[in-house]
Amino acid sequence: MTSSCWRIAPLHFTLDPGQSPIDGSRALLSNELGSFDAVYCINESYATPVTTAAAELEVSVPDTLAISVAGEAHAAAVDPRLVHLNVDPIALGAQCAKLLIEVLSSVSTQRHPPQNVSLPMTLSIPPKF
């Protein structure tokens, strides 16, 4: 018995210099770059233009397009259609400070800095999923 593995090449989209997030979102969702059914936004500042562009282009969220975003847990109440990766900002800040100290001390002692850091988060999923 053989098994098959599907590998989907990610589309990494960045804004052009001077391009507004809403214009970038319109370009992303225009299908000029290909079709896809999910978008990950690094924070709420980018999720809002993506949801706005989806509404303008009559793309239903989450039925046609799933949008996930990292942020604070209370943001899930703002737009419950999105998948929220809830990160505790205090824990994130503490982990960043610890990592910075480790990196700086590794430079002075010629040790290797940490390569991977894990931060706990919770998931808020829209009711339709």
pTM surpassing 0.85?
no
The predicted-structure confidence for 43-76, as pLDDT tens digits, reads as follows 888 999 999 999 999 999 999 999 999 887 777 7
Distance, CA of 5 to CA of 73 (rounded, Å): 34
| Of 101, 120, 119, nearest in space to 111 by CA | 101
The predicted-structure confidence for 22-39, as pLDDT tens digits, reads as follows 999 999 999 888 888 899
Distance, CA of 21 to CA of 48 (rounded, Å): 9
Strand, helix or coil for residue 91? helix
Return the sign of the alpha-carbon dihedral for residues 39, 61, 65, 128.
positive
- What amino acid occupies position 42? I
- What amino acid occupies position 56? E
Q: Do the strands 121-124 and 83-87 form a parallel or antiparallel pair, or are they unpaired?
A: antiparallel
Neighbouring CB atoms inside 10 A of 99's CB total 13
Residue 1 has pLDDT above 50, yes or no: no
